[in-house]
Amino acid sequence: MDGFVNFIQGFLDLGATVILPVAIFLLGLLFGQKPGKAFRSGLTIGIAFVGIFLVVDLLVNNLGPAAQGMVDRLGVELNVIDVGWPASSSIAWASMVAAFIIPLGLLVNVLMLVTKTTKTMNVDIWNFWHYTFTAAMVYVATSNLFLSLLAAVIFQVVCLKIADWTAPMVSEFYDLPGVSIATGSTISYAPGIFLVKGLQKLPGVNKWNADPATIEKRFGILGESMFIGLVLGAAIGLLAGYGIGDVIDIGIAMAAVMVLMPRMVKILMEGLLPISESAREWLNKRFGDREIYIGLDAAVALGHPSVISTALILVPITVALAIILPGNALLPFGDLATIPFIVAFIVGAARGNIVHSVIVGTIMIAISLYLATDVAPLFTQMAMEGNFTMPEDSAQISSIDQGGNLINWIIIRLFGIFN
């Protein structure tokens, strides 16, 4: 068992930029593509994700210190530290249940495709860590391996069903035909779609609109996405108390994110479309005419400027919420740079309307703060059993991403009955 666990961990350590190309290459061969064409698709997607993650790193490396600057400047003192998704995923993979999740997850996905209970073929294996996290937390709560694996399966099924439901929106709004998003952190915010629809029916509020096209039409060149990124980035720098040089630096970095991310997504689609078409043809021959989606990381949605704009506005709002919400104990930090991922469905449902997206995003993040606070004792216990090094001066840890994940919270509380 230890050898198998080490193999799985070694495979995951290769990262999405290696795992995804390998998965796409093997899928291409499975669907009857010639090796050269399958290899080209896999390599192209690998290159695209290298570019996407470089841009994400640019975002994270600038937002992280700025967020810390805002927190320090406001003198916030909360006793639960948001350790972010990197630490959360490491804690999840350190669990004894982790070795079962990838083979179990692949089996469940195949069974659902064969039985036509999902249209999504999820190749985003790296993000199976969300299922692993839920399983690990249930295991800590119940000490029952069967229940923990069942919890992971339920989480996965919910993710696949929501991915199917939102795929038409992903195709139409984000211009990603044949793609669905089953990333656990994004799925958690899917209820925000209903809040968006509610806002769009409120008299007066439904007329509040600020999307990139409208802003550019009104302000001309100053309304282009690069200028929006510059202004929002500089504003965050000022809130963090930066000097003028650092304010300009973060402004230019956010402008770069706005410009570079859409280009990386275009490269991704160049590699994905041949695979998607081959998958559709292969499945149609064997199972009749049916629609099939390729499940990818939510990073593919970051190419739309409304997503980054909404996220940048929500960063200081999240810090403010942590201070003013009674009963919240989470100090947001590690997952502030994850906000673009979690608001993707909200922005898509709002058709890029930044005003509606920020309003609904604020409500959903407020809920996440309370959920993350609630599971902090269990999160901390799981981390300590996994020999995680606790942040200095922190009593407990949690995260906005998975600790504040609504689906995760419901499953944990449901299975907690068996404790």
Residue 128 counted as domain residue: yes
In this structure, is residue 415 part of a structural domain?
A: no
- Tell me the pairing of strands 120-122 and 293-296: parallel
Is 318 domain-assigned? Answer: yes
Residue 40: domain span = 1-79+87-400
According to the model, what pLDDT value does residue 112 have? 93
Reference 268, options 79, 5, 88, 45; nearest CA is 45
Q: Is residue 139 part of a domain?
A: yes
The per-residue pLDDT for range 69-103, each reduced to its tens digit, is: 777 777 667 788 888 887 888 888 878 888 888 88
Question: What is the Cα–Cα distance from 375 to 129, expressed in whole angstroms?
Answer: 18
The CA distance from 13 to 23, in Å, is 15
Instruction: Quote the tokens at residue 411.
Output: 């499953």
List the chain residues with pLDDT less than 70: 1-16, 75-76, 211-223, 287-289, 390-394, 418-419
Give a yes or no: residue 419 inside a domain: no
pLDDT of residue 246: 86
Indicate yes or no: pTM above 0.75.
Answer: yes
Report the domain count for the chain: 1
As a dihedral over the C-alpha atoms of residue 347, residue 185, residue 320, residue 316, rounded to 10 degrees, the angle is -60
Question: What pLDDT score does 357 carry?
Answer: 93
Q: Would 71 be classed as within a structural domain?
A: yes
Distant-in-sequence, close-in-space partners of 222: CB < 8 Å, separation ≥ 6: none
Look at residue 419 in the predicted model and tell me its pLDDT: 64
Instruction: Look at residue 235 in the predicted model and tell me its pLDDT.
Output: 84
pLDDT of residue 212: 64
Does residue 416 fall inside a structural domain? no
Of 68, 17, 77, nearest in space to 47 by CA: 17
Whether residue 414 is contained in a domain is answered as: no
Count how many Cα atoms sit within 13 Å of the Cα of residue 84 in the half-sphere of its side chain.
14
pLDDT of residue 273: 75
User: Tokens 């989470």 appear where?
Assistant: 330
CA atoms of 386 and 373, how far apart (whole Å) = 20
pLDDT of 264 reads: 80
